Amino acid sequence: MSPKPRAKRLSETNRAIVSLQIDNVPVEALAGDTLLTAILLSTGQTGRDAFNQTRQAGFCLMGACQSCWVWSAAGQRFRACDTPVQQGLQIYTDGERLGW
Amino acid sequence: MVSGDKIVIVGAGPAGMEAAITLVKAGLRPTVIDANARSGGQIYRRPPADHRRSYKDIYGADAAKARYLHDAFDAIRKRIDYRPDTRVWAADKATLFLDSPEGPLALPYDKLILCTGATDRLFPILGWEAPGCYSLGGAQIALKSQALALGDPIGFVGAGPLLWLVAWQHLKAGSEVAGVWCTAPLKNLFVALPWLAARPGLALRGLGQIFALWRAGVPIKYGGRPLAVTADAEGHVSGFQWSNGVKSSQTPLRALALGWHLRSEAQLPHLLSVPKAQGQNRPMVDGLGRSPTRGLYLAGDGLEIMGADAARIAGRMAAVALLRDTGCRQTFVNKLKLVSDRIKHARMRVFSSGLARSFPPPEAETFLALPETTVVCRCENVRLAAVRAAAENWKCKDINRIKALTRTGMGRCQGRYCSATLMAIVAAETDLPISDIPEYRAQAPIYPLEIPNKQR
Ligand SMILES: Cc1cc2nc3c(=O)[nH]c(=O)nc-3n(C[C@H](O)[C@H](O)[C@H](O)COP(=O)(O)OP(=O)(O)OC[C@H]3O[C@@H](n4cnc5c(N)ncnc54)[C@H](O)[C@@H]3O)c2cc1C
Ligand code: FES
């Protein structure tokens, strides 16, 4: 069971719906969301901290801290904060565990 | 008059956009490289195309300036070689190394204008590695480009103009603000008034934001010390503890944004061996932004934190310096414009020195009082105790040696979010001024690079 989201949309909720899967969980996001937005509003967490194994949830949102990495099914790595959502996308937040 | 020189601008924020516009006017065709998908830089960051909010909604009082720059830059798109989504990860005297959507590229150049902007300056709080802590800039980006509050409610801690601005922007956008905790004492603001008066409109706007937060009933605390970020059973941020020196308080919240003003993104000038300006923590340049390295110019917050208006002027001045060095003759009107730019820029420097006086980093005592288990380097999970041990009773004053021994600054963010901390800790422990503490040496790659699966 994923924890309930902490983030909240404040406006711009009338955009088209985009469906994707985060860690095999079906998630609905809006066109123009970043993957991080989609994650924070659903499963709530990105990858695991390499040392404490605690979850992360992004930090800088501007591509500088790199604590928001996610992976595609093929093992390609993205920063969730500057990658837009796409219909049908499957992403995994635990790439390091999966051996990528 | 047009020379065949290959001119490259790094950064499409106000400084880089204005430099490009100036060069195009003079008949040149610069290449503009920017990490973001859309031009605008930090302050004039554009949301993805699917967003429909008005300029006024997104940029508030800066809407007209944002629109002007976006339109002016869009108008020269065909007359420049614009490369969004592209990062410069290393540079030498004649080549930039790019991580671009087409893959890795080496781009030769003759002349280079660096307009790389800034990132948040951060200091650690016990427990700040928990998910739900963000940089102040990050909270603003969520709001501006995603219409998202990172937590509901969200709190803000730090010092600087951005602290008040971002808290106020959240309030205005309809987010619940749990509190604003400013580590600088309130009296600083009044002491700095003579300098802040150099831009009275801007100073009043800032004071108006503080007033509006107070009037809305947002808890505001001045001149204390952050104690800890607390987390819930899932490890996520759930509260913030603060001490005003006499007693401590605990505030529940679901996200905390931290920032103590900004720090320049100055890795590229370091890699290009630009010397430090005397007695200052910034690269050496002349009045127009010309560095001692031939063909290399710097402008905007990447050189000196002075804000968006000053960044635009600096971008223009650096472009003029480049044009002069290429032998382009300046018209009388252009010369007049330059004189007025220099005067305005000098006035803005007075204002930004007032901001630095109003919102200094926390006092040495704050760093001396940090618990040993505080994480100082988030990426490599290095705690204060390890830094203390490596510094061997502070005989070691070089943070580069501490880095070598403890791995601080070696992680994914490449030292962006711990360099100010390490310098402040060493300064506090050794009683030296921060300007005497050497920064991390920049190392390429300045961003981690992905080696695609198939090449492994
Ligand atoms: C998150 C954040 C929010 C801010 N918000 C405000 C605000 O609301 N109001 C305000 O007055 N000031 C704000 N500031 C201050 C702001 O930095 C300046 O006002 C202004 O944006 C500076 O303009 P610039 O052109 O120097 O740099 P920036 O606007 O920061 O632009 C620099 C650009 O260079 C790019 N870049 C940097 N390094 C590289 C590289 N190696 N390769 C490729 N591209 C690169 C960046 O992605 C960025 O697009 C903010 C700063 C930050 C960091
Ligand atoms: S949140 Fe910092 S790089 Fe994405």
- 3-class secondary-structure state, position B55: helix
Q: What is the pLDDT of residue B232?
A: 93
Measuring CA to CA, which residue among A67, A34, A27 is closest to residue A48? A67
Least confident of A34-38, B31-35, B370-374, B444-448: B444-448
Q: Can you list the pairs that B414-417 forms with residues at least 24 positions away whose Cβ atoms lie under 8 Å?
A: B414/B267, B414/B443, B414/B445, B414/B446, B414/B447, B414/B448, B415/B440, B416/A64, B416/A65, B416/B119, B416/B263, B416/B265, B417/A59, B417/A60, B417/A64, B417/A65, B417/B119, B417/B120, B417/B122, B417/B135, B417/B378, B417/B379
Q: What is the pLDDT of residue B278?
A: 83
Q: What is the pLDDT of residue A94?
A: 81
pLDDT reading at B455 higher than 80: no
Nearest CA in chain A to B35: A63
Interface test with B, best of A1, A61, A77 (most B CBs within 10 A): A61
In this structure, which topology does domain A17-92 adopt according to CATH?
Ubiquitin-like (UB roll) (3.10.20)
Are B119 and A16 inside 8 Å of each other by CB?
Answer: no
Mean pLDDT of B137-151: 96
State whether the Cα torsion B350-B354-B359-B360 is positive or negative.
positive
Q: Pocket residues for ligand 1 (CB within 6 Å)?
A: A 62; B 10-16, 33-36, 41-43, 87-88, 115-120, 137, 140-141, 162, 165, 262, 265, 300-302, 307-308, 311
Q: What is the pLDDT of residue A2?
A: 52
Distance B94 CA to ligand 2 centre (A): 30
Q: What is the pLDDT of residue B398?
A: 86
Interface test with B, best of A18, A59, A83 (most B CBs within 10 A): A59
- 3-class secondary-structure state, position B259: strand
Q: What is the pLDDT of residues B19-49, one digit of tens each?
A: 999 999 999 999 999 999 999 999 999 999 8
pLDDT reading at B454 higher than 90: no
Q: What domains can you pick out in chain B, each with its CATH number?
A: 7-119+263-329 (3.50.50.60), 122-260 (3.50.50.60), 365-436 (1.10.10.1100)
State which ligand 1 atom lies nearest to the alpha carbon of B136: 1
| Distance between CA atoms of residues B303 and B262, nearest Å | 12
Q: Supply angle C-alpha B116, B119, B123, rounded to 5.
A: 150
| Distance between CA atoms of residues B402 and B406, nearest Å | 6
Nearest CA in chain A to B57: A11
Candidate from A32, A44, A66 with C-beta closest to B47: A32
Distance B43 CA to ligand 1 centre (A): 6
Q: Pocket residues for ligand 2 (CB within 6 Å)?
A: A 58-61, 63-68, 79, 81
Q: Which residues of A touch B37 (CB under 8 A)?
A: 82
Average predicted confidence (pLDDT) for chain B: 94
Q: What is the pLDDT of residue B117?
A: 98
Share above pLDDT 90 across residues of chain B, in percent, rounded to a whole number: 83
Q: What is the pLDDT of residue B434?
A: 86
ipTM over 0.90: yes
| Distance between CA atoms of residues B395 and B398, nearest Å | 9
Q: Could you tell me the pLDDT band of residue A99, with boundaries at 50, 70 and 90?
A: low
Q: What is the pLDDT of residue B286?
A: 96
B158: β partners: B182, B259
Q: What is the pLDDT of residue B27?
A: 94
Q: What is the pLDDT of residue A74?
A: 85
Looking at all shown ligands, the one closest to residue B413's CA atom is 2
Q: Which two tokens stand for residue B338?
A: 């330059």
Nearest CA in chain A to B134: A59
Mutate to test the pocket of ligand 2, among A39, A45, A60, A91 (most ligand atoms within 8 A of CB): A60
Q: Which residues of A touch B120 (CB under 8 A)?
A: 60
Q: Could you tell me the pLDDT band of residue B1, with boundaries at 50, 70 and 90?
A: very low
Q: CB B89: neighbour CB atoms within 10 A? A: 20
Q: Which two tokens stand for residue B20?
A: 């490009």
Q: What is the pLDDT of residue B2?
A: 55
Q: What is the pLDDT of residues B258-312, one digit of tens each?
A: 999 999 999 999 999 999 898 788 899 999 999 999 999 999 999 999 999 999 9
Q: Is the pTM of this model over 0.80?
A: yes
The residues spanned by each domain of chain A are 17-92
pLDDT reading at B79 higher than 50: yes
Are A7 and B149 inside 8 Å of each other by CB?
Answer: yes
| Distance between CA atoms of residues B298 and B189, nearest Å | 30
Interface test with A, best of B146, B170, B383 (most A CBs within 10 A): B146
Q: What is the pLDDT of residues B376-426, one digit of tens each?
A: 999 999 999 999 888 877 777 889 999 999 999 998 899 999 999 999 999
Q: What is the pLDDT of residue A96?
A: 63
Q: Which of the two residues, B140 and A76, has the higher pLDDT score?
A: B140
Share above pLDDT 70 across residues of chain A, in percent, rounded to a whole number: 85
Q: What is the pLDDT of residues B166-223, one digit of tens each?
A: 999 999 999 999 999 999 999 999 999 999 999 999 999 999 999 999 999 999 999 9
pLDDT reading at B10 higher than 60: yes
Q: What is the pLDDT of residue A1?
A: 44
Q: Which two tokens stand for residue B217?
A: 């009933």
| Distance between CA atoms of residues B429 and A85, nearest Å | 47
Least confident of B62-66, B87-91, B100-104, B348-352: B100-104
Candidate from A49, A52, A61 with C-beta closest to B141: A61
Q: What is the pLDDT of residues B51-61, one digit of tens each?
A: 889 999 999 99
